[in-house]
Amino acid sequence: MIERDYLIVGAGTAGFSACEGIRQHDKKGSITMVGNELHAPYERPALSKAFLQKSHPHPHEFCYHAADWFVKHKVDLRLGTFITQFNIERHLAVLGTGQTIHFDRAVLATGSRALRPQVAGYDLGNIIYLRTMADALALREMTPLEDGVTIVGGGLLAAEVAASLTLTKRKVTMLSRDVALWQHLVDPVTAEWLTTYFKAKGVTMHLRDDVSGFEGKTIVKNIQTKNGGRHTVSLVIVAIGSEMNLGLVRNTPLATPKGSPVNEYLETEEKGIYSVGDIALFPDKIYGGVRRETHWEHAKQSGLVAGGNITGRKRTKYEYLPHYSSKLFDLEFEFVGDFQLPPVRVVTEGAREKRSFVLKYMSGDKLRAAVLCNRKPAEVEAVKKHIRGDYTGK
């Protein structure tokens, strides 16, 4: 049996950041980090943007560190490895190799997986669910061989992929049940403006139409829609959201339908086991209640905080104001705040048609969230300060 001071389950951004947080405060404790992907921890957001746009991208360009970082910091990195059993009472993890690890403390950073539509043919060939480096590499190889690409979805990831492939001169079609791009993220006026912008860039849109099935023997040939339509396709990317990877701790207090509950230190009710990143359901010290976030910045910050806390040498309460970015063509967006509720009132600064604006989403007299397009970093920080002041008085 392998004995470890720390076990990190997951080798994505959150898991790697937890590893960094541990090493900032404990230089000698033994660490094993287990991930089922073959690549060392990398910047996942780049997969839908820079990775697709580069002429000859290499996976190493997007890794946080070279392999020797893990050797130097004495981290036992197990890639391409699954954990088949995780016993929270005995602190045991069984690897797919048959090895067993007994750990003193653990960080769960299992992240999310791409959501599959529950329709016939969802697993046919030439349907890509873009989530991992392997998915992006496959997409890079396939796009030059096909006449065009059809993207199912109208959210953040779908729009990013559509823009990136259009910039590489690919013929792109988007199919979405929504009435406009990003309709669940921004106000209706902005969603309609963005949809028109994509059309002007040459993206073909089929909106208000949902997928009812994929047709083909081994490779997808057609998409059937609920409106009775049939679209001929040769390559499909499905980007309709994600779902948490909580199967390892299913039927335990560490897993609920809304996430893995943690306290303000990101520790679960099982002492010595922490949850971070996409799966963590943490107390929201700004807006109140509890929150789960699936964006890169949260994965990074929660991992660092949990990594420090798990050593017992530093105890930091986790406070997070949601902030994430997106880039579409020549539009650079920053999203700050809570977008879970529709705004009561929208205050606009600048002009959408000039591709430089700030949208302030108000809830009563408080600034609940803001969208900034092609604005300076100082304005992003000013918005953060404004929201914190409105909700915490700080």
The answer on pLDDT for 54 being more than 90 is no
Distance (Å) of CA 70 to CA 67, 79, 167, 305: 6, 12, 36, 20
pLDDT in tens, 293-329: 999 999 999 999 999 999 999 899 999 999 999 999 9
Q: Which numeric CATH code is attached to 116-238?
A: 3.50.50.60
pLDDT value for 56 = 78
SS (H, E, C) the chain: CEEEEEEEECCCHHHHHHHHHHHHHCCCCCEEEECCCCCCCECHHHHHCHHHHCCCCCHHHHECCCHHHHHHCCEEEECCCCEEEEECCCCEEEECCCCEEEEEEEEECCCEEECCCCCECCCCECEECCCCHHHHHHHHHHHHHCCCEEEECCCHHHHHHHHHHHHCCCCEEEECCCCCCCCCCCCHHHHHHHHHHHHHCCCEEECCCCEEEEECCCECCEEEECCCCEEECCCEEECCCEEECCHHHCCCCCCECCEEECCCCCECCCCCEEECHHHEEEECCCCCCEECCCCHHHHHHHHHHHHHHHCCCCCCCCCCCCEEEEEECCEEEEEEECCCCCCCEEEEEEEHHHCEEEEEEEECCEEEEEEEECCCHHHHHHHHHHHHHHHHCC
- What average pLDDT score do residues 48-65 get? 88
Whether pTM > 0.75 for this model: the answer is yes
pLDDT of residue 112 exceeding 90, the answer is yes
Average the pLDDT over 330-334 and give the result.
98
CA distances for 340 relative to 76, 142, 344, 387, angstroms: 39, 36, 12, 15
Q: How far apart are the C-alpha atoms of 57 and 339, rounded to whole Å?
A: 33
Are the C-beta atoms of residues 164 and 49 closer than 8 Å to each other? yes
Instruction: Delimit the CATH 3.30.390.30 region(s) of the chain.
Output: 330-392
pLDDT, tens digit, for every residue of 174-212? 999 999 999 999 999 999 999 999 999 999 999 999 999
pLDDT of residue 58: 84
Tell me which of 3.30.70.260, 3.30.450.80, 2.30.40.10, 3.30.390.30 is the CATH number of domain 330-392: 3.30.390.30
For residue 55, pLDDT over 80 is answered with: no
What's the pLDDT tens digit per position in 352-377?
Answer: 999 999 999 999 999 999 999 999 99
Query: Which of the following CATH numbers is that of domain 2-113+243-310: 3.40.50.11810, 3.40.462.40, 3.40.190.10, 3.50.50.60?
Result: 3.50.50.60
Tokens of 19: 């590893």
Ranges in the chain annotated CATH 3.50.50.60 = 2-113+243-310, 116-238
State pLDDT tens for residues 141-157. 999 989 899 999 999 99
Q: What is the mean pLDDT of the chain?
A: 95
Report the candidate in 367, 285, 371 with the shortest Cα–Cα distance to residue 335. Answer: 371
pLDDT of residue 270: 96
Q: CA 279 to CA 219: how far, in whole Å?
A: 33
The string of pLDDT tens digits covering residues 249-291 is 999 999 999 999 999 999 999 999 999 999 999 999 999 999 9
Q: What is the mean pLDDT of residues 25-54?
A: 94
Find where tokens 């779902």 sit: 243
CA distance 239 to 268: 31
Residue 120 has pLDDT above 90, yes or no: yes
Mean pLDDT of 223-242: 95
